[in-house]
Amino acid sequence: MRDEILSMGKRARAAAHHMAKAGSRTKDKVLECVADMLLQERDTIQSSNDKDIEQAEARGLSRAKLDRLHLSDKVLAEMAGGLKEVALQPDPIGEITRMWTRPNGLRVGKMRIPLGVVGIIYESRPNVTVDAAALCIKAGNAVILRGGSEAFHSNQCLARILMKALGQAGLPEEAVQVVGTTDRDAVLDMLKLEEYIDVMIPRGGEELIRFVAEHARMPVLKHYKGVCHVYIDEHVDMEMAHKICMNAKVQRPGVCNAMETLLVHENVAARFLPVMGEAFRLAGVELRGCDRSRELVPHCLPASEEDWYAEYLDLILAVRVVRTMEEAIDHITTYGSQHTEAIVTENYARAQQFLQEVQSSLVLVNASTRFNDGYQLGLGAEIGISTSRLHAFGPMGVEELTTTKFIALGNGQLRI
Amino acid sequence: MRDEILSMGKRARAAAHHMAKAGSRTKDKVLECVADMLLQERDTIQSSNDKDIEQAEARGLSRAKLDRLHLSDKVLAEMAGGLKEVALQPDPIGEITRMWTRPNGLRVGKMRIPLGVVGIIYESRPNVTVDAAALCIKAGNAVILRGGSEAFHSNQCLARILMKALGQAGLPEEAVQVVGTTDRDAVLDMLKLEEYIDVMIPRGGEELIRFVAEHARMPVLKHYKGVCHVYIDEHVDMEMAHKICMNAKVQRPGVCNAMETLLVHENVAARFLPVMGEAFRLAGVELRGCDRSRELVPHCLPASEEDWYAEYLDLILAVRVVRTMEEAIDHITTYGSQHTEAIVTENYARAQQFLQEVQSSLVLVNASTRFNDGYQLGLGAEIGISTSRLHAFGPMGVEELTTTKFIALGNGQLRI
């Protein structure tokens, strides 16, 4: 264990004790101050960012990765806007979520408190440094951030701004720390700090997330992949089904909440699939279907077993005709990733049953899968989407960076 | 990886899908049926239990461990009573905990669902097999239990009863499985089943818990130790303070929610400590204190640094005089285990500040630390006390064996 990482952990723990006591206005002031500094110190930030981009270009990074790395004026303005939005949200800390009275008169309740120290390991986007730190500060936590090596200079610069704003508000600067080394052993050391880091949140590709999950000694909030389904029931408004499918697949195919498999009830397949298939063809979507789908859609390719598991993140869609809704739910249970599933139906009982029986982080009736997102669902900012069930399941906002303790108000109660 | 453990995981996952759909009355019938069978099949259970006790005696187990192992008539009756109590509790599954409407008309909510598959690794008490299984069934989960080798025959017998009751109610018998081997490698294999076990709950000594925390690939809900503090403020009802201290230390000293350190404000120490010290002496409590405590209590031994960290689980108490409440809170933060802390005060502001700033799983005002227990706080049965903050912090009841998914009710909403 490197001394540097260990001492970051200790400083974070000490800072967390102070952050837990920080008042709402103090925390919000930090966020507003960072928002202002992002614009005032734009030149400094962008010259750090230029260094990263030069190195990335020299290493031949793809255009997409360079884009994610770039802190343009627009990106900085969006970061500043996001910070001000988080500042406007209510402070979750201190909320009494429930309270009840015991037969002996003891009043027992649950009070919301910070998690403590949050660790975040992420890949190229430097804006995550600010977005994630903001949510952690709002929830009264300390945070240790370890960004991708490509964004090293940008992240160091943003960290200095965050720490300066914390210091100006009288809060400990060590509430936000960015790991100052880019080698992978530093990640391994972080993952052993279970005494000092209460939860680890990896954000990035599946390889990174599996690495973190395998080596972390602390709990991990993680999101592997989104194999999202839309089920078209036999009792259906055709036009609504058509629009929802198009939106779920085509509006932004490269993201985790895009539809990857379409399931269609056999009683409606002959009416629905030929029209829908043609619309998909015009939108450039490649279809891979079961035998019955292929009978109805001429250009549909045959689907293999792997297609049912696939997260394409592209203009490709698996299609299957099912005999019953139960068969659709079984398909989702077998092949799905517990991310996002939607039913399109006009039938009350089917809607209820689907809502109850499908165990994904978001289950929708008559709406696009693309709504599985913290902003879209009304949580404000989002620190990731959890597809594991412990602590948080689905999009994680400020509240998911807190926990609750029990409180008990007595007047001398003793255990007998 | 042993095939046997892997296939238990797969069967548990399949059973969990069925359990998630089970109706409240069906689940409650299983619990009532097990309660009846515990009494009807007493002879079979006790003859299995006799085998375990014989072997344990031959291996020279301590009297205390033999006691924990023994399924006496009284223990069986208590287990049956506990099952009926859990059956009477409301079903947590399907509860909509919140619901709100988005500007586009999408109604978004959170619905309570089972965790999935729970793993429990425990030591000698065979009644845990039934108590833990009951809570898991009530919450719609499947469970894999791995009890101590001393209770092997008892656990196998209780497992048969649980499986029989599940089968009679039309639920999958594999919803409760007991690992049928006593070697330690089976535990290691279980801890690698992150695909099939959603959460691991170890119950037992610190060594077991550390082993599980280090090797588990899935999240672990754990409880290391309880170094519980009572702080006596300067504004205090002496008689109440006296009774709470006596109850917290003496009523049952061998448990995790007993007081281990007493902190006394200096303005009240000269009045409080001599009387309290004498009462503790009469109750057989050994005191180990700071210099100022020793001036006030003649028989008080000197405390070393280790005493402030100690979980004695015995009639020993560390005592320290503090200059301010802040010093008391700092002491708790430095040496405590985030389990249970109490303040005794008549002062409103002090009570509020202590409640806000002490970050333990239960913080009490004017009541004994001994109340940190699922039954005492009104959660019904308890599956353990979590001192880590993720997912659950404090006593865990049925609700802590569930999670929430998002649901969204639309009428054609698309993402724009």
Query: What angle is formed at CA B143 by the lines to CA B138 and CA B148, rounded to 5 degrees?
Result: 120
| CB < 8 Å to A366, chain B | 409-413
In this structure, the answer to whether residues B254 and B348 fall within a common structural domain is: yes
A10 token code pair:
């200790």
Phi, psi of A176 (to 5 degrees): -125, 120
Q: Is residue B411 part of a domain?
A: no
- The DSSP symbol for A118 reads E
Residues of chain B with pLDDT under 50: none
- What are the Cα distances from residue B268, in Å, to A392, B31, B346? 45, 52, 13
CATH number at residue B199: 3.40.605.10
Number of domains composing chain B: 2
Q: How many residues does chain B have?
A: 416
pLDDT of A123 > 90? The answer is no
Look at A111-120, A187-196, A259-268, B283-292 and tell me which has the smallest mean pLDDT: A187-196
- Candidates A101, A406, A409, A416: best to mutate against B (most CBs of B within 10 A) is A406
Q: How confident is the model at residue A246, as a pLDDT?
A: 98
- Candidate from A114, A390, A395 with C-beta closest to B390: A390
- What are the Cα distances from residue A138, in Å, to A142, A385, A392, B314? 10, 19, 18, 42
Shortest Cα–Cα distance, A354 to chain B (Å): 11
A103 token code pair:
């037969």
pLDDT of A70 > 70? The answer is yes
Which strands form A176-178's sheet, in the order they lie side by side? A176-178, A142-146, A117-122, A199-203
In this structure, the answer to whether residues B279 and B338 fall within a common structural domain is: yes
In this structure, the answer to whether residues B83 and B108 fall within a common structural domain is: yes
Shortest Cα–Cα distance, B65 to chain A (Å): 25
A377 token code pair:
């669902």
pLDDT of A223 > 90? The answer is no
Section A394-404 average pLDDT = 95
Rounded Cα distance, B89 and B101, in Å: 31
Q: Is residue A212 part of a domain?
A: yes
- Residue B47's CB is within 10 A of a number of other CB atoms, namely 11
pLDDT digits (tens, 9 = 90+) for B234-261: 999 999 999 999 999 999 999 999 999 9
| CB < 8 Å to B98, chain A | none
Section A215-239 average pLDDT = 93
The pairing of beta strand A117-122 with beta strand A142-146: parallel
Contact A403 B410 (CB under 8 A): no
Closest to B99 (Cα-Cα) out of B406, B314, B415, B351:
B406
Q: How confident is the model at residue B123, as a pLDDT?
A: 85
Contact A412 B111 (CB under 8 A): no
CATH number at residue A252: 3.40.309.10
Q: Is residue B337 part of a domain?
A: yes
**Which band of pLDDT confidence, cut at 50, 70 and 90, is reported for residue A225?**
confident
Residues paired with residue B229 on neighbouring β-strands, in sequence order: B261, B341
Contact B361 A219 (CB under 8 A): no
Rounded Cα distance, A29 and A249, in Å: 41
In this structure, the answer to whether residues B69 and B187 fall within a common structural domain is: yes
Range of the domain at A216: 3-222+392-409
pLDDT digits (tens, 9 = 90+) for A327-378: 999 999 999 999 999 999 999 999 999 999 999 999 999 999 999 999 899 8
In this structure, the answer to whether residues B63 and B176 fall within a common structural domain is: yes
Q: How confident is the model at residue B185, as a pLDDT?
A: 86
Contact B411 A366 (CB under 8 A): yes
| CB < 8 Å to B377, chain A | 102, 108, 406, 408
Last residue of a domain, one of B206, B224, B242: B224
Q: How confident is the model at residue A3, as a pLDDT?
A: 86
In this structure, the answer to whether residues A232 and A327 fall within a common structural domain is: yes
**Which band of pLDDT confidence, cut at 50, 70 and 90, is reported for residue A404?**
very high
Rounded Cα distance, A278 and B374, in Å: 59
Rounded Cα distance, A244 and A250, in Å: 10
**Which band of pLDDT confidence, cut at 50, 70 and 90, is reported for residue A1?**
low
Closest to A92 (Cα-Cα) out of A110, A79, A104:
A110
- Check if the beta carbon of residue B311 is closer than 8 Å to that of residue B227: yes
- Candidates B359, B396, B401: best to mutate against A (most CBs of A within 10 A) is B359
- The DSSP symbol for B198 reads S
pLDDT of A77 > 80? The answer is yes
Q: How confident is the model at residue A381, as a pLDDT?
A: 79
Q: How confident is the model at residue B1, as a pLDDT?
A: 60
Residues 6+ away with beta carbon under 8 Å from A207: none
Shortest Cα–Cα distance, A70 to chain B (Å): 25
Contact B414 A100 (CB under 8 A): no
B339 token code pair:
């389990």
In this structure, the answer to whether residues B189 and B242 fall within a common structural domain is: no
Tell me the residue type at A51: K
Rounded Cα distance, A329 and A357, in Å: 8
Q: Is residue A155 part of a domain?
A: yes
Shortest Cα–Cα distance, A339 to chain B (Å): 10
Phi-psi domain of A118 (left: phi exceeds 0; alpha: psi -120 through 50; beta: other): beta
Rounded Cα distance, A104 and A83, in Å: 46
In this structure, the answer to whether residues A272 and A160 fall within a common structural domain is: no
* Mean pLDDT, rounded, of chain A: 94
In this structure, the answer to whether residues B147 and B282 fall within a common structural domain is: no
Contact B219 A390 (CB under 8 A): yes
Contact A217 B213 (CB under 8 A): yes
Closest to B238 (Cα-Cα) out of B283, B260, B270:
B270
- Check if the beta carbon of residue B24 is closer than 8 Å to that of residue B208: no
| CB < 8 Å to B198, chain A | 388-390
What ipTM was estimated for this complex?
Answer: 0.92
| CB < 8 Å to A116, chain B | 359, 389
Helix (H) or strand (E) holding A361, with range, is: none
In this structure, the answer to whether residues A281 and A167 fall within a common structural domain is: no
pLDDT of A2 > 80? The answer is no
Rounded Cα distance, B397 and A355, in Å: 25
Contact A198 B389 (CB under 8 A): yes
- Candidates A102, A340, A413, A416: best to mutate against B (most CBs of B within 10 A) is A413
In this structure, the answer to whether residues A135 and A197 fall within a common structural domain is: yes
Shortest Cα–Cα distance, A100 to chain B (Å): 9
DSSP character string of A208-270: HHHHHHHH-SS-B-------EEEEE-SS--HHHHHHHHHHHHHS-TTSTTSEEEEEEEHHHHH
Dihedral Cα A344, A348, A352, A357, nearest 10 deg: -60
Q: How confident is the model at residue B260, as a pLDDT?
A: 98
Q: Is residue B394 part of a domain?
A: no
- What are the Cα distances from residue B21, in Å, to A99, A173, B84, B139, B167? 30, 49, 21, 11, 15
Q: Is residue B407 part of a domain?
A: no
Q: Is residue B414 part of a domain?
A: no
Q: Is residue A293 part of a domain?
A: yes
pLDDT digits (tens, 9 = 90+) for A145-192: 999 889 999 999 999 999 999 999 999 999 999 998 777 888 999 999
pLDDT digits (tens, 9 = 90+) for B156-165: 999 999 999 9
| CB < 8 Å to A141, chain B | none
In this structure, the answer to whether residues A72 and A89 fall within a common structural domain is: yes
